[in-house]
Structure 1
């Protein structure tokens, strides 16, 4: 490790370009970094933690690094792969082994003494639930479009008829694949009352009044620093489907939005959050969601560089950044 000081632990999968940006910046600063994917446990990760009532000591070891638990300065919790079990195990034994790993290694990773988390995995988990997001954003003074979560087709049709035009939004970005194993995405899209039949009963659905917008806004919050980007050029309601047509412009954050965003982060105990807004013709920012572990590295370099530096500051200096 570069300078022999306390390391930053980056918890993520191998193919994480966003984490790579931050790791490269920490390396430039000669801050020691250890990368760990819990999905590699137990084949390529070893944990040994001693808890004796006065301290937590021990080590985490990967194929290339060994880290003392009590010396980790910060944890950058990104996107680890799921825990896995030996393929030779029976289904029941495999499920048991995975849960033991999750609560054993996962519990140790979530309780490193003195470490600054960005974000703590349990805070990420709590902040992923859309109903909690919507209610918290409203309490924090952010404007939330009328939204319905239901599995009742009659209620869904009535809502769509009253608030048209209405969008369907997935409640979570759950991994989904077709029969050939190709990854699929459930997009945000318009929905009409006629489309809402008895299939709505099969699970929970989120419907929201579509904002009449002139642009989208992605606001990335890192501690006290806020980076807002206006996104123009999307021909549809979900700009993620049209990256090749988008343009990005850094913009200032209105004081009332900054106040609401910081109150939102405090409510969930987050250090980082990626907020999405729709910008109405009258200038009102309509709050859509906050991904507590959202992406930002696809922006042009002049936008990503300050975000990268802010994240590296948090991990290098902890809560003092």
Structure 2
């Protein structure tokens, strides 16, 4: 079993501990440690890909990796090189080591890094959600200030969401661009500087986080008075519940479209009890929900990795 993530990943800690308790051999590494403390020796022959991953404490036979839990490894870094050489080295690492990790024969990926990349594009996620049968709020992706203003005027209550959320530093402190309600008066010509996502606000009474792990579906209602519940976990209350008719099948259609075996879905629930799809994070957090509700998510994920489910 191979776990690829950063050093500080409490969720991976729990899964690794569970697998160790079952007597399953696990090697954990951060691909961002390459090449300083991680090396690769991979050969492609007439028999396929074979070789070794070597860390200071472990050696992994690539042909024996049955499952790979791909979480949130750090990025490659070459601070000792000048800008041009670092750019070249980074590309070689990504397509070399990254390509090897994405090509393990007979391996179950949770999830495959390429599939994670595909599913992280919000336009693809939203259009796939429509095809899967979910309700999706009207959404505009634009770099046009005029189009943004027109959309807001036509839709009334509209929120802005970043299309991706890389590290954003304010006075040297890591921050993030938050989901926020916007009016037409908020739109200025700076909108033309890049792409933006605007979405009609769902008049919600609650949120639901759905965690899909293989064939298991864990639904948790999240009650708060927050526009975005992730901004203050102290205000949240949690209630496990069952998905309404049609949601389960739509979840699996969505997962099959992206070839995912794990997904963390967010829904807004309106006054009529309808679930509106907001997004699916293919690397989303989930363990805190097990702590809050007792749902057996760690067991389900370990079963999936061990291929017992």
| Structure 2: runs of 5 or more not aligned | none
- Asked if 1:50 is matched to 2:40, the reply is no
- Does the CA contact (< 8 Å) of 1:119 and 1:272 recur in 2? yes
Q: CA deviation at 1:300?
A: 4.8
- Does the CA contact (< 8 Å) of 2:169 and 2:175 recur in 1? yes
In structure 1, distance between residues paired with 2:220 and 2:258: 23
Q: SS of the residue aligned with 1:132?
A: helix
Q: Which residue does the alignment assign to 2:272? A: 282
Q: Which residue does the alignment assign to 2:164? A: 172
TM-score, normalization: structure 2?
Answer: 0.98
- Asked if 1:135 is matched to 2:127, the reply is yes
In structure 1, distance between residues paired with 2:295 and 2:89: 41
- Does the CA contact (< 8 Å) of 2:158 and 2:182 recur in 1? yes
- Asked if 1:153 is matched to 2:145, the reply is yes
Deviations 1:175-223 (A, max 9, x none): 211242x110111110001001111101100000100111000000011
In structure 1, distance between residues paired with 2:293 and 2:99: 35
Over 6 Å off, 4+ runs: none
- Does the CA contact (< 8 Å) of 1:10 and 1:75 recur in 2? yes
- Does the CA contact (< 8 Å) of 2:218 and 2:295 recur in 1? no
- Does the CA contact (< 8 Å) of 2:290 and 2:297 recur in 1? no
In structure 2, distance between residues paired with 1:198 and 1:59: 53
- Asked if 1:193 is matched to 2:184, the reply is yes
Q: SS of the residue aligned with 1:218?
A: strand
Instruction: Indicate the RMSD between aligned Cα atoms, in angstroms.
Output: 1.1
Q: SS of the residue aligned with 2:248?
A: helix
In structure 1, distance between residues paired with 2:291 and 2:133: 32
Structure 1 residues 24, 101: CA separation in 2 closer, same or farther (over 3 Å shift)?
same
Aligned length: 309
- Does the CA contact (< 8 Å) of 1:296 and 1:304 recur in 2? no
In structure 1, distance between residues paired with 2:283 and 2:258: 13
- Does the CA contact (< 8 Å) of 2:289 and 2:295 recur in 1? no
Q: Which residue does the alignment assign to 2:67? A: 74
TM-score, normalization: structure 1?
Answer: 0.94
Q: Which residue does the alignment assign to 1:101? A: 93
In structure 2, distance between residues paired with 1:259 and 1:115: 26
In structure 2, distance between residues paired with 1:217 and 1:238: 12
In structure 1, distance between residues paired with 2:13 and 2:171: 31
Among 221, 231, 242, the alignment partner of 1:252 is 242
- Does the CA contact (< 8 Å) of 1:220 and 1:227 recur in 2? yes
- Asked if 1:206 is matched to 2:213, the reply is no
Q: CA deviation at 1:256?
A: 0.4
Deviations 1:100-153 (A, max 9, x none): 011111010000111110000000000000000010000010000010000111
Among 82, 88, 95, the alignment partner of 2:80 is 88
| Structure 1: runs of 5 or more not aligned | 1-7
Q: Which residue does the alignment assign to 1:162? A: 154
In structure 2, distance between residues paired with 1:119 and 1:62: 22
In structure 1, distance between residues paired with 2:300 and 2:245: 20
Q: Which residue does the alignment assign to 1:4? A: none
In structure 2, distance between residues paired with 1:241 and 1:292: 20
Q: Which residue does the alignment assign to 1:241? A: 231
Q: SS of the residue aligned with 1:298?
A: helix
Q: SS of the residue aligned with 1:249?
A: strand
Among 223, 226, 234, the alignment partner of 2:217 is 226
Bigger mean CA deviation after superposition, 183-192 or 171-180: 171-180
- Does the CA contact (< 8 Å) of 1:297 and 1:304 recur in 2? no
Q: SS of the residue aligned with 1:250?
A: strand
Q: Which residue does the alignment assign to 2:4? A: 11
